A and B are shown apart, each in its own frame.
Chain A
Amino acid sequence: MSDNRTETTERTDRERSADSSASATETDPLLRIEDVWKSYGDEEVLRGIDLEVDRGDVEVLVGPSGSGKSTMLRCINRLTEVDSGHIYLDDLDVTAADTNPDAVRQQIGMVFQDINLFAHLTARKNVTLGLRKVRGFSKEQARQRADSELERVGLADQADSYPAQLSGGQKQRVGIARALAMDPEVMLFDEPTSALDPELSNEVLEVMQGLVAEGMTMVVVTHEMRFARGGASRITFLAEGEIVERGPPEQLFENPTHERTAQFFESIRHD
Chain B
Amino acid sequence: MSVTDALGIDASWLRESTDDLGQGLAVIAGVAFWGWLLTRWLYDWTLGRWGIGPGAGENFLSSAPFERIADALEGSVAALGPIRIPVGWLGSLADGAALAIDIAPALATGAWYTIVLTAVSIAIGFCIAVPVAVLRVYGGPFRWLALSYTELIRGTPLLAQLFVLYYGLPLAVWLNDVDVVGRGFVPEYAFWIAIIGFTINGSAYQAEYIRGALESVDEGQLTAARAVGLSKIEGIRHVVLPQTLRYAIPAWTNELVYLIKYSSLAGFITVPELYYRASRIASSTFEYTPIFTLLALVYLGLVLSATNLMTHVERRVAVPGIGQVEGRQQGTGD
Contact = CB atoms under 8 A, between A and B. Distances in A.
**Do these two chains interact?**
yes
Interface string B214-251: 00001011011111111100100011001100100000
Given A120-B322, A122-B334, A164-B320, A130 B230 contact: yes
Contacts of B330: 165
B321 interface: yes
Given A120-B319, A129-B239, A165-B320, A160 B227 contact: no
B321 A130 contact: no
A116 B223 contact: yes
Interface in A118-173: 118-120, 122, 125, 129-130, 133-134, 160-165
B223 A102 contact: no
Contact of A118 (B225, B231, B234, B246): B225
Contact of B331 (A105, A106, A161): A161
A31 interface: no
Contact of A179 (B228, B234, B239): B228
B184 interface: no
Nearest to A106: B229
Nearest to A135: B229
A119 B226 contact: no
Contacts of B231: 102
A178 interface: yes
B218 A134 contact: no
Contacts of A179: 227-228
Interface residues of A, number: 34
A264 interface: no
A105 B321 contact: no
Given A125-B334, A130-B229, A134-B228, A120 B243 contact: yes
Contacts, number: 89
A129 B238 contact: yes
B228 A112 contact: no
A227 to B, nearest CB: 21
Nearest to A122: B334
Contact of A112 (B223, B229, B334): B223
B239 A118 contact: yes
B331 A182 contact: no
A77 B225 CA distance: 13
A34 interface: no
Interface in B313-334: 319-322, 326, 330-331, 333-334
Given A160-B331, A162-B320, A134 B230 contact: yes
Contact of B226 (A79, A122, A162, A178): A79
A118 B221 contact: yes
A112 B243 CA distance: 20
A110 interface: yes
B331 A162 contact: yes
B238 A116 contact: no
A162 B243 CA distance: 13
Contact of A129 (B228, B246, B321): B228
B333 A110 contact: no
B53 to A, nearest CB: 51
B47 to A, nearest CB: 48
A105 B331 CA distance: 31
Given A118-B239, A120-B246, A162-B331, A178 B228 contact: yes
Contacts of B333: 122, 160
Contacts of A161: 331
Contact of B224 (A102, A112, A125): A112
B229 A117 contact: no
B334 A102 contact: no
Given A77-B227, A105-B227, A164-B320, 4 more contacts: A79-B226, A122-B333, A165-B320, A165-B331
Interface of A: 77, 79, 101-103, 105-106, 108-110, 112, 114-120, 122, 125, 129-130, 133-134, 160-165, 175, 178-179, 182
11 contacts: A79-B223, A79-B227, A102-B226, A114-B218, A119-B321, A120-B239, A129-B225, A130-B229, A134-B229, A160-B333, A165-B320
